[in-house]
Amino acid sequence: MTMMKQALPVNKNDTVTLDIIGLTHEGEGVGRVDGFTLFVQGALPGERVSAKVLKVKKTYGYAKQLELLQASPHRVDAPCPIYKQCGGCQLQHMSYEAQLVWKRQHVIDSLQRIGKLEVQDSNRGDSQLVADGNAAAAGQTSGLRGILVHPTIGMDEPWRYRNKAQVPIGMAMADLDSGAAGSLIGGFYARGSHRIVDMDACLIQHENNDAAVRQVKSIGNRVGISAYDETTGRGILRHVVVRTGFVTGEMMVVLVTSGPRIPRLEDWIAGIREALPQVKSIVQNINKRQTNVIFGDETRTLWGSDVIYDELDGLRFAISARSFYQVNPAQTLRLYQSAVDYAGLTGSENVIDAYCGIGTISLFLARRAGNVYGVEIVPEAIEDAKRNAELNGITNASFEAGPAEVVIPRWRSEGVTPDVIVVDPPRKGCDEQLLDTILKMQPERVVYVSCNPATLARDLQVLEAGGYQTVEVQPVDMFPHTSHVESVCLLVKD
């Protein structure tokens, strides 16, 4: 007897007509055929498309848009010429206004579906929300139950906003075939792959970073350096990382290589300095491992300073190659402002800043608090944080390197009693051990800065179960034209 495979409503290579009813967190359109879900890159909610089925799994599949039968009023022409190939941006085909509305809705959906949390009238228009927000800021409550999710704070000019470029380097295909030297390429990975799309300009990147990457490719070709090949593990240059301080203009160029040797090092240094006088620091990072993690453990300064400086709201920050520093400075100010507001400081509080990076949020808080304790896992970042406190004459902030989920429980046993805990974890969210410690420490307020609504919702559910109430969430658009959603959230002890 042969087992009958249960028939699915669609098969690979079928052409289907789809009404797009939603957008995934990666920015793909969602459509259904007889209840079967298909994801379509580039299609927007409200659109009707004809699409070819590319791949079918048990409960969902992927389809490629063939024709746009009915366009969304929010559809715009993507300004970037390589938008379709490049995997860097996901939402350039959607108006900026609609992106902001979608990002807020994405936060709401995550809170409701993943966190099982109640959100205040989640279908309100943005203008009503602004009114609610103003009332809340004035200390009035709307009388509605549930979390208030504010409209997303967007940018006035949502282009050229990034201060950091991290560009993988490869060889042009033609050269691989002919074995000819030269022709380095560098750009983003193509959507869903590790094939590099060569790029001369990126519309969300600071122009000077673009210029630095072009210069590195051109010097590389001149001196004949080989690009690292992920599959064989051979070749030298893996990544170029460039940072520009938006306020100071200072630049750092990091060459990530597979080993210590850089051929014709003097030519590199002279070439970079000549083309880009703003460069204050040229650094090499050595990554010998066969991994797609960009940085290895060994960093050395090839020329100039080991850090560059930038400023945020009058505070000065030293930033070294491997330290985290928010990539969108204009929106960082708004993000930090919300975090400081939510901390509700009067000048006497003890505050913990977990996942503090180079101490940026810590120092913003320290200006209004009694004492701030920052903790961060990357030791270089903690060195930067200490230096930054000193640089700004701030004496009420101290820092320790280590995992937040280990260091903070120890602080607890040493008698640290925070009034406020701020957390700003990476995408995977807070460690359970940390959440548990927060619940034991019982601060009046918890401020959660999140770059991933799904893990935010998961963690809020834990804190709510432990006696905290989520009051409000402020989404801030740190990454226009991408599907990334950042938000700041206030919790208070019930």
Q: How many residues bind ligand SAH (CB under 6 A)?
A: 19
317 binds ligand SAH (CB under 6 A): no
Choice between 92 and 487, CB closer to ligand SAH: 487
Q: What mask of x and - would describe binding to ligand SAH in positions 124 to 163, judged by CB under 6 A?
A: ----------------------------------------
Smallest gap from Cβ 234 to ligand SAH, in A, equals 30
Choice between 28 and 353, CB closer to ligand SAH: 353
- For residue 326, say whether it is annotated as part of any ligand binding site: yes
Which conformational region is residue 63 in: left (phi greater than 0), alpha (psi within -120 to 50 degrees), or beta? beta
- For residue 376, say whether it is annotated as part of any ligand binding site: yes
Choice between 47 and 486, CB closer to ligand SAH: 486
The SS3 call for residue 68 is strand
The rounded distance, in Å, linking the Cα atoms of 54 and 63 is 5
Choice between 79 and 426, CB closer to ligand SAH: 426
Smallest gap from Cβ 30 to ligand SAH, in A, equals 30
Smallest gap from Cβ 319 to ligand SAH, in A, equals 10
Smallest gap from Cβ 317 to ligand SAH, in A, equals 9
The SS3 call for residue 216 is helix
What is the signed CA dihedral for 447, 379, 388, 367, rounded to 10 degrees? 20
The rounded distance, in Å, linking the Cα atoms of 347 and 368 is 5
The rounded distance, in Å, linking the Cα atoms of 433 and 404 is 9
Active site residue 86: no
52-74 burial: b if 16+ Cβ within 10 Å, else e: ebeebeeeebbbebeeeeeebeb
404 binds ligand SAH (CB under 6 A): yes
Among 105, 326, 331, 487, binds ligand SAH (CB under 6 A): 326
User: Which amino acid belongs to residue 349?
Assistant: E
User: What would the two tokens of residue 263 be?
Assistant: 């051929």
The rounded distance, in Å, linking the Cα atoms of 47 and 432 is 41
424 binds ligand SAH (CB under 6 A): yes
324 binds ligand SAH (CB under 6 A): yes
Smallest gap from Cβ 241 to ligand SAH, in A, equals 15
- For residue 67, say whether it is annotated as part of any ligand binding site: no
Q: Which residue's CB comes closest to ligand SAH?
A: 357
Which conformational region is residue 183 in: left (phi greater than 0), alpha (psi within -120 to 50 degrees), or beta? left
The counts of H helices and E strands in the chain are 11, 22
Q: Are 438 and 405 in contact (CB under 8 A)?
A: no
**Terminus-to-terminus CA distance in the chain, angstroms?**
62
Restricted to residues 347-366, the positions that interact with ligand SAH (CB under 6 A) are 355-357, 360-361
The rounded distance, in Å, linking the Cα atoms of 326 and 164 is 9
Choice between 250 and 424, CB closer to ligand SAH: 424
Choice between 278 and 433, CB closer to ligand SAH: 433
Restricted to residues 364-403, the positions that interact with ligand SAH (CB under 6 A) are 375-378, 381, 403
Residue in 202, 356, 430, 451 annotated catalytic: 451
The SS3 call for residue 81 is coil
- Tell me the CA distances in angstroms from 429 to 292, 350, 451, one per residue in order: 21, 23, 9
CA 447 from chain center: how many Å? Answer: 18
Q: What mask of x and - would describe binding to ligand SAH in positions 431 to 460, judged by CB under 6 A?
A: x-----------------------------
Smallest gap from Cβ 391 to ligand SAH, in A, equals 16
Q: Are 223 and 268 in contact (CB under 8 A)?
A: yes
Annotated catalytic residues are: 451
Residues at the interface with ligand SAH (CB under 6 A):
324-326, 355-357, 360-361, 375-378, 381, 403-405, 424, 426, 431
Q: Point out the annotated binding site for S-adenosyl-L-methionine.
A: 326, 355, 376, 424
Q: Point out the annotated binding site.
A: 326, 355, 376, 424
